[in-house]
Amino acid sequence: MQKENGKNIYFNDEAYHVLNSYLVNQKFDPKNVFILVDNLTYKHCFPIILSHVNFLNKSHVIKIRTGEKEKNIYTCIKICKLLEKLKATRNSLIINVGGGVITDLGGFVSSIFKRGIRFINIPTTLLGMVDASIGYKTGVNLDYIKNEIGTFHIPELLIIDPFFLNTLSRTEIISGMAEMFKHGLIANKDFWIDMNKFKLEMAENKNICNDLIKKSIFIKNKIVTKDPKEKGLRKILNFGHTIGHALESYFMNKKEKILHGMAIASGMIYESWISHKINDLSMIDYEEIESSLSSFYPKKYVLSDLDVEKLFIIMEHDKKNEKNKIQFSLIKRIGECSYNYEVPFSLIKESLLKC
């Protein structure tokens, strides 16, 4: 199968047909296929995959502990050693079955093991489906700096099956929805409106969201296909993430941990305020964003001046920075975003303490 940017995404039953044919056509020995899972995806998702793809019954399963803490270079080394022990070759295939932690980690290992082997992503969280598995970025954290070590590596196939979401917690669903709201805010106002119309139903009844998931994937995929290496346009996907990532890193090792999506939802509110102040975002749009997101993602922390200083230090390490300046992507109106804004510390501080 020809691997082509953005043309390797398959949904529901068709996806399993394509996966079955791929494994047969590429003449894989099942023992040369390695399935990366975490404790929970092994329990909830792996049996579903086996029921569709019999071929994988004899493949090796590599299981790691669940959670962001595992997304580091030491886990990668452990996986590489295991691959070596299991006699993986340059022709091996890794199939990542899990959320963003597994697809980031497994994608990264695939890109470095023996200078790069093939991989397939089967995302099993909402965030994994609409965001982490789309767009060829792989990577791991360096201590508390998110995704500091990473590569671009294109999966052979992307298998999207929203059925996996039936076992995912409501909190994880709501976390994943933040990226969908973001897709509306940066690129498609109608999608933002749809998300607001269906957000409560989507959080309660995961089955109705197939169509929204597809649309969200198409929005992200269109952007990354135009700018795969993040030279320009792709930066708009970072909206909400400059401050959001800092919050996520800051709270990573505290009692009151916050999920990626929750951090990004707060980040989008702060960065909408900044957009209002320096990018002509109207007060009406700001208030709409603020009221929609803050009611859906109630804030569980209060920031002090000291917290703000520490967050700023984390932002200074952000990979997106250029010439030692923190770079923001800001919206002009709902559905339109641009990138490379330098924002003074005083305004970042104002947003963090005010919003």
Q: For binding to ligand NAD (CB under 6 A), which residues are involved?
A: 38, 40-41, 44-45, 66-68, 71, 98-102, 104, 124-125, 127-128, 131-132, 135, 137, 146-147, 164, 167-168, 172, 175, 260
Q: Which is nearer to ligand NAD, 172 or 194 (CB)?
A: 172
| CB neighbour list of residue 111: distance below 8 Å, 6 or more residues apart | 138, 151, 152, 153
CA 279 to chain centre: 26
Q: Which is nearer to ligand NAD, 236 or 281 (CB)?
A: 236
| Distance of closest approach, residue 184 Cβ to ligand NAD, in angstroms | 16
Query: Which of the 8 DSSP states describes residue 325?
Result: B
Q: Which is nearer to ligand NAD, 79 or 281 (CB)?
A: 79
| Distance of closest approach, residue 87 Cβ to ligand NAD, in angstroms | 28
| Distance of closest approach, residue 301 Cβ to ligand NAD, in angstroms | 19
Find the distance separating the first CA and the last CA of the chain, reported in whole Å. 49
For residues 56 and 47, what is the distance between their CA atoms, to the nearest angstrom? 10
Angle at 53 between CA 151 and CA 34, to 5 degrees: 40
Q: Which is nearer to ligand NAD, 130 or 326 (CB)?
A: 130
| Distance of closest approach, residue 172 Cβ to ligand NAD, in angstroms | 5
CA dihedral angle for residue 241, residue 247, residue 253, residue 259, rounded to 10 degrees:
-60
For residues 323 and 315, what is the distance between their CA atoms, to the nearest angstrom? 14
| Distance of closest approach, residue 138 Cβ to ligand NAD, in angstroms | 6
Q: How far is CA 335 from CA 193, 289, 323, in A?
A: 10, 12, 29
Asked if residue 139 lies in contact with residue 151, where contact means CB atoms within 8 angstroms, the answer is: yes
Question: H-helix or E-strand containing 317?
Answer: none
| Distance of closest approach, residue 102 Cβ to ligand NAD, in angstroms | 6
Q: Which is nearer to ligand NAD, 135 or 267 (CB)?
A: 135
Q: Which is nearer to ligand NAD, 99 or 240 (CB)?
A: 99
Determine if residue 277 is left, alpha or beta; phi over 0 gives left, psi from -120 to 50 gives alpha, anything else beta.
alpha
DSSP β-ladder status, 327-333 and 157-160: unpaired
- With CB atoms as reference, the residue minimizing the distance to ligand NAD is 100
| Distance of closest approach, residue 160 Cβ to ligand NAD, in angstroms | 12
| Distance of closest approach, residue 217 Cβ to ligand NAD, in angstroms | 12
Q: Which is nearer to ligand NAD, 140 or 343 (CB)?
A: 140
Q: Which is nearer to ligand NAD, 127 or 281 (CB)?
A: 127
